[in-house]
Chains A and B, each alone.
Chain A
Amino acid sequence: MKVLINQVVHDLPEGACLAQAIDAIDAKQPFAAAVNTHFVPRARYHQHLLHDGDHIEIISPVTGG
């Protein structure tokens, strides 16, 4: 299945979980994740199953005003 991770298309196996998507981009701590604009706590990365077309955001601290 195809999912968007930070706006880039990735192929993941059917039934993949959010943890696999995070591994796919080799995300570096610290970060937080959301799927289809809904926050997913880190404790649920392995339980949260993805679906074809899901939009995944993985974001990290940056400077801000």
Chain B
Amino acid sequence: MTAQTNDDPLFLYGQRFESRLLLGTSRYPSPTLLAAAVQRASPAMVTASLRRQTAVAGETGKPFWQLLKDLNVPVLPNTAGCHGIQEAITTAQMAREVFETDWIKLEVIGDDYTLQPDTLNLVTAAEQLIRDGFKVLPYTTDDLVLCQRLVDVGCQAVMPWAAPIGTGKGPINPYAMRLLRERLSVPLIVDAGLGRPSHACSVMEWGFDAVLLNTAVALAQDPVAMAGAFASATQAGRVAYLSGTMTEQESAQPSTPVLGTPFWHHTAN
């Protein structure tokens, strides 16, 4: 970890995190590779979910629970798969009891094909959970007014998508995302749709505060190396943002001084 990282922590709901990468735990080839990827990335939090005990044979119960405890990384439970306000609230309450945390990644899905958030119900669900004491990180689209409403009801950070979950397309609407950054002062975490480290680097260069990844790491041919690549790219983008990028020019500007160029204006014999 560089000195820059230590001097530039991420604050969410007043809690300090040393990393600006949040990592999902799903779809890895094996629990061993998941653990190694988490170790390599050193994420601020890892996401987890809840399912019926009989629903996912071999995955529910103690093995994953023990792995989570061994990772010793804060857990961010999600409400993945919830389609309504009550479902999401109940799932969050169950997650709080199981994971012993007030943090919740709020997902209220409005369309099963794109997994697009239900923008009409998301704000209401977030408002109720915040009243109930949760630290809500809402998964949302890049709609400015929706994100503003989430802030209005008490969300101290917002998580707009870059593209639909699991697509790896990278930012499909850079204009909207950069506008979000320009208009909102709360921490913004890009959640979903990033496929390459360069995508993470780009959004961090635009001033986003963190990224949340899963599939791009889990489905890489070498998930552990890719976890490291995303961690480096996220950090590089952050440092670039803080450093201030140059203003783009329309015409070429020589970087080497022209004055004193040998053979300048000599006529070939």
Say yes or no: A65-B215 contact (C-beta < 8 A), given A60-B60, A60-B61. yes
0/1 interface trace, chain A 49-61, chain B, CB 8 Å (1 if under) = 0000000011111
A contact residues around B93 at 8 Å (CB) = 32, 39
CB–CB B49/A61 < 8 A: yes
**Does any Cβ of A come within 8 Å of B178's Cβ?**
no
B interface, by DSSP: helix, strand, loop or mixed?
mixed
Q: Residue among B24, B34, B52 with the most chain A CB within 10 A?
A: B52
CB–CB A64/B86 < 8 A: no
**Nearest 3 CB-CB pairs, A to B?**
A64-B49, A65-B24, A65-B214
B97 interface neighbour in A8, A25, A32, A64, Cβ under 8 Å? A32
Distance of B226 from chain A, by nearest CB (Å)? 15
**Which residue of chain B has the shortest Cβ distance to A41 in the bound complex?**
B97
Say yes or no: A64-B94 contact (C-beta < 8 A), given A6-B55, A27-B53, A59-B53. no
Q: Which of A1-28 contact B (CB under 8 A)?
A: 6-8, 25, 27-28
* A interface residues (Cβ-Cβ under 8 A, vs B): 6-8, 25, 27-34, 37-39, 41-42, 57-65
**Once bound together, how far apart are the Cα atoms of A31 and B25, in whole Å?**
19
0/1 interface trace, chain B 225-260, chain A, CB 8 Å (1 if under) = 000000000000000000000000000000000000
CB–CB A7/B95 < 8 A: no
CB–CB B94/A62 < 8 A: no
Task: Give the number of residue pairs across the A-B interface with Cβ within 8 Å.
Answer: 104
CB–CB B94/A39 < 8 A: yes
**Once bound together, how far apart are the Cα atoms of A42 and B96, in whole Å?**
12
Besides A39-B93, A59-B94, A64-B47, 14 other A-B contacts (C-beta < 8 A): A25-B53, A28-B61, A32-B50, A32-B93, A32-B98, A37-B86, A39-B90, A61-B65, A62-B48, A62-B56, A63-B48, A64-B24, A64-B78, A65-B165
Say yes or no: A59-B51 contact (C-beta < 8 A), given A64-B78, A65-B215. yes
0/1 interface trace, chain B 30-69, chain A, CB 8 Å (1 if under) = 0000100000000000011111111110011110110010
What are 29 A-B residue pairs whose CB atoms fall within 8 Å in the complex?
A6-B52, A28-B61, A28-B62, A32-B50, A32-B95, A34-B90, A34-B94, A42-B97, A57-B52, A59-B52, A59-B98, A60-B50, A60-B60, A60-B61, A60-B65, A61-B64, A61-B65, A62-B49, A62-B50, A62-B51, A62-B59, A62-B64, A63-B25, A63-B48, A63-B64, A64-B78, A64-B80, A65-B78, A65-B80
